[in-house]
């Protein structure tokens, strides 16, 4: 198995484990610890809070260090942290503060590990094959998103939620071992500048003063903001329309759509170009939320279209920034964009909830879909409309 094969396998194993834990932690909070809705909200926010607090600093640190050891360390660190949950449960010492602390710690390690992951990929994959590699990773993520929660539910039923979390801990340990087997010498980055604020500004300038990256990044932030608004309203809307079980199948439909979107994304790019491919993907996501509102069973079709759009768009914006960004700035570029993207979720989600409560759930989805559409069309009118990637292998 080649370097990318082991790299991809490590990511796939840990990704399946992550979706298992997503279900298991919720069950632990609600069933074992009798958490209130507010406490569940705090638990969910803890996963993304590190991106807001440390995201920009993480990019600087990733660019200062060798990335393979960082990936190994964050994988093994997450394995150890997740192992705390079943250990505390075994001694009847598990509490909501402890659960929140573990989730926050895993989120912080994921921030550094993910930034290193995206920055390391260009070192083991030729640049004209980056789009192909990112499509494969995106498809794996979609399969994990679809089947991981189902696998998690089965493990919870037969082993209990704490031991299901232990399965994720094992997956991170296996991932770390696989990454450790990657061959190739990785030089320590040259120590030219070690002033934190200077390095932060350099990363921000690269992203937001770049003629192509700036409009791509800013419209991506807007997409995450408005998608979070629509997604937040979608959950209670779908539960009312098709029930809690139906919601699970709707998410599965989205996963199937993402797999299919990823399968055709390279062909779409060859046919209509990079900018139009990304815009098409974002418009499909907006259309999917609109389709949801046309009837109860349209919940499934709408989510399929949402997933299709994510699959069409997903690999290409990541590939583009990997290709145009110098290696010494890869960590800061990826961490900056991801931090602001995920940060938009913490803003958009409550706004969507407030609109849903004060006006209506369909209104929140319409506002979100409209915002996504405007952001997508804005990208097409920017300098990014002329951007493209090198040709890929067929």
- The domain spans of the chain are 1-183, 210-389
User: Is the pLDDT reported for residue 379 higher than 80?
Assistant: yes
Calculate ∠ Cα 375-377-380, nearest 5°.
115
Q: What is the mean pLDDT of the chain?
A: 83
The token pair at 292 is 């949801």
Residue range 154-208, pLDDT digits in tens: 787 788 888 888 988 999 999 999 988 877 556 655 655 567 777 778 888 999 9
Which tokens hold the place of 387?
A: 């951007």
pLDDT number for residue 177: 92
pLDDT at 52: 79
pLDDT value at residue 222: 95
**What number is the average pLDDT over the span 114-138?**
77
What's the CA gap between 254 and 144, in Å, rounded? Answer: 12
Alpha-carbon Rg for the chain, nearest whole angstrom, is 20
Token digits of residue 184: 């190739």
User: Does the domain formed by 210-389 have CATH 3.30.390.10?
Assistant: no
Confidence of residue 41 (pLDDT cuts 50, 70, 90): low
pTM of the model: 0.71
Tokens at residue 154, please? 């089965």
Average pLDDT of span 309-317? 84
144 or 220: whose pLDDT is higher? 220
CA nearest neighbour of 237 among 364, 392, 150: 364
For residue 149, pLDDT beyond 70? no
In this predicted model, what pLDDT tens digit does every residue of 278-311 receive, in sequence order?
A: 999 999 999 999 999 998 889 999 999 999 999 8
Rounded mean pLDDT, 243-262: 79
pLDDT number for residue 393? 39
User: Is the CATH code 1.20.1250.20 the one for domain 1-183?
Assistant: yes
């Amino acid at each position: 198995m080649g370097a990318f094969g082991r790299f991809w396998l490590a990511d796939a194993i840990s990704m399946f484990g992550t979706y298992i834990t997503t279900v298991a932690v919720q069950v632990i909070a609600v069933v074992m610890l009798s958490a209130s809705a507010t406490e569940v909200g705090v638990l969910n926010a803890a996963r993304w809070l590190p991106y807001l607090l440390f995201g920009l600093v993480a990019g600087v640190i990733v660019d200062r260090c060798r990335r393979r050891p960082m990936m190994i360390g964050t994988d093994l660190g997450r394995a150890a942290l997740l192992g705390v949950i079943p250990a505390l449960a075994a001694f009847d010492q598990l509490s909501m503060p402890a659960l929140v602390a573990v989730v926050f710690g895993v989120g912080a390690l994921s921030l550094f590990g993910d930034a290193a992951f995206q920055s390391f990929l260009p070192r083991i994959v030729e640049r004209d094959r980056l789009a192909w590699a990112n499509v494969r990773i995106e498809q794996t993520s979609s399969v994990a998103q679809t089947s991981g929660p189902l696998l998690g539910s089965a493990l919870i039923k037969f082993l209990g939620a704490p031991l299901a979390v232990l399965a994720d801990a094992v997956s991170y340990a296996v991932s770390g071992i696989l990454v450790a087997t990657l061959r190739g010498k990785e030089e320590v980055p040259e120590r030219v500048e070690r002033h934190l604020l200077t390095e932060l500004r350099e990363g921000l300038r690269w992203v937001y003063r770049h003629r192509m990256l700036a409009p791509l990044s800013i419209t991506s932030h807007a997409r995450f903001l408005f998608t979070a608004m629509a997604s937040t309203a979608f959950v209670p809307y779908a539960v009312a329309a098709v029930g809690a079980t139906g919601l699970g199948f709707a998410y599965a439909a989205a996963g199937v759509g993402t797999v299919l979107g990823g399968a055709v994304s390279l062909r779409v790019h060859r046919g209509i170009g990079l900018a139009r491919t990304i815009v098409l993907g974002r418009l499909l996501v907006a259309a999917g939320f609109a389709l949801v509102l046309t009837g109860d069973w349209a919940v499934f079709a709408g989510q399929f279209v949402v997933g299709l759009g994510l699959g069409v768009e997903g690999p290409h914006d990541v590939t583009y920034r990997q290709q145009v960004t110098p290696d010494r700035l890869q960590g800061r570029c990826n961490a900056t964009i991801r931090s602001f993207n995920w940060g938009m979720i913490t803003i958009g989600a409550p706004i969507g909830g407030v609109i849903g409560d004060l006006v209506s759930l369909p209104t929140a989805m319409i506002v979100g879909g409209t915002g996504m559409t405007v952001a997508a069309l804005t990208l097409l009118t920017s300098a990014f409309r002329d951007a493209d990637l090198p040709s890929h292998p067929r």
